[in-house]
Amino acid sequence: DAGVIQSPRHEVTEMGQEVTLRCKPISGHNSLFWYRQTMMRGLELLIYFNNNVPIDDSGMPEDRFSAKMPNASFSTLKIQPSEPRDSAVYFCASSPRLAGGQETQYFGPGTRLLVL
Amino acid sequence: SQQGEEDPQALSIQEGENATMNCSYKTSINNLQWYRQNSGRGLVHLILIRSNEREKHSGRLRVTLDTSKKSSSLLITASRAADTASYFCATPKAGANSKLTFGKGITLSVRP
């Protein structure tokens, strides 16, 4: 299996621009998670989906952030407009199913975002 | 605040030595997981230990869980340079929509 696929791997953009990060989960996995990692705050869960439905988006920092999962094999995380403080590594992870925190999560390689 | 907190924040050892990393958490859990992150990569699941288990092994990894002290340890025996990475403990956050929360990680450097 190819694992979780994220694109782009690196993104450099200017403040105010729209940024779209993409994720393809492992085939057959029903749950998908978006995380943000920074030195200051560590790894933060932004939102997660189960069977394409958003379950908990309480970690989404602001209305500038939105996430969709139109089908079982694709999800996007959009930032509009982007700001320098959004610079971070964004990870997508998937798991076979939600299991009350007992699920093993499989992480993608991440998208390193730099907002100038 | 973080549910799980690892210590030390950084650890440097010689190849062949054992590495012990600790994680403390605040609320009752039904399991605890350890993940590894190599530089520039995503996290990789290492091992899961359930609340009714005290110790678990996987290759050179040994994980213990002490629910009375709300703590866990990860021991890597006979370390190798390839073990150089950041290590995270992850615990479920209590609630209707339980989710995994990660500590800030321990940076392990294994000197060849």
A101 near B CB under 8 A: yes
Question: Which pLDDT does position B1 carry in this prediction?
Answer: 43
**Rounded to a whole number, what is the distance in Å from the CA of B8 to chain A's nearest CA?**
15
pLDDT tens-place string over residues A27-80: 999 999 999 999 989 999 999 999 999 999 999 988 999 999 999 999 999 999
Nearest to B99 among A45, A106, A109 (CB): A45
Most B CBs within 10 Å, among A103, A106, A111, A112, to test the B interface:
A103
Contacts of B17 (CB under 8 A, 6+ apart): B79
pLDDT tens-place string over residues B65-90: 999 999 999 999 999 999 999 999 99
Q: Which amino acid is at A101?
A: G
* d(C-alpha B64, C-alpha B102), whole Å: 18
Provide the token pair at B69: 């002290």
- CA B108 from chain centre, in angstroms, equals 11
Q: Do A100 and B91 touch (CB under 8 A)?
A: no
Residue in chain B closest to A104 (alpha carbons) equals: B45
The answer to whether B36 touches B46, Cβ cutoff 8 Å, is yes
